[in-house]
Chains A and B, each alone.
Chain A
Amino acid sequence: EAGVTQFPSHSVIEKGQTVTLRCDPISGHDNLYWYRRVMGKEIKFLLHFVKESKQDESGMPNNRFLAERTGGTYSTLKVQPAELEDSGVYFCASSQGIGTAYGYTFGSGTRLTVV
């Protein structure tokens, strides 16, 4: 089966610009998560979708970040306007269910650099 796909793999943008990251989860996985790792620090949770609904968005840093999952398939994470501190690696993960029997499959991440 195909894994979790994220693109672009790298993005370099200027401060103030807009960037949209995309995540395609494993087909049939209702649960989709976004995480972010700032250089050298912990990977931090951003939000969790169940199908098209936001189940938990407690980790979203501010209103410059907008996540969507229209139709419950792929998800996008838009940063507008981008700031320097938004630089980092953004990971997406999907899971078929939320019980302990289900694991999380992560994508390769999008490395965002804001200059």
Chain B
Amino acid sequence: AQSVAQPEDQVNVAEGNPLTVKCTYSVSGNPYLFWYVQYPNRGLQFLLKYITGDNLVKGSYGFEAEFNKSQTSFHLKKPSALVSDSALYFCAVRPNQAGTALIFGKGTTLSVSS
């Protein structure tokens, strides 16, 4: 079955330190990859996506993600975390097949301490 794994329920990092939120996927073919963020009482907000091309994708709020095809990973990164980055992060894939639904991971709660 096609799936997305976010192995960490929670990531804790101090403000100013780099952060990584991990994502691996098990999907056939060449999927499209996404990261979304959910702040409290808000909807899912788009951060970035990988379709094709450069493996390092830059997105909103200073976030970036690196696509690694051999490891089937799409880890989210930021060089210097902010307290305001604290939120719930979801990795998602859209299989490159018929149908346009996204397959999501469980989500990772990022907590940035001051």
Contact = CB atoms under 8 A, between A and B. Distances in A.
A55 B90 CA distance: 25
A91 to B, nearest CB: 7
A59 B101 contact: yes
A35 B105 CA distance: 13
Contacts, number: 56
B29 interface: no
B105 A42 contact: yes
A91 B101 contact: no
Contact of B43 (A42, A44, A106): A106
A108 interface: yes
Interface residues of A, number: 28
Contact of B101 (A9, A40, A45): A45
A48 to B, nearest CB: 6
B106 A42 contact: yes
B98 to A, nearest CB: 9
Contacts of B106: 40-42
B100 A98 contact: yes
Interface in A71-115: 91, 93, 95, 98, 100, 103-109
A40 B4 CA distance: 14
Interface of B: 4, 9, 32, 36, 41-46, 49, 51, 90, 92, 99-107
Q: 10 closest A-B pairs (Cβ-Cβ)?
A: A106-B44, A43-B104, A45-B101, A108-B43, A106-B43, A98-B100, A100-B51, A42-B104, A107-B43, A42-B106
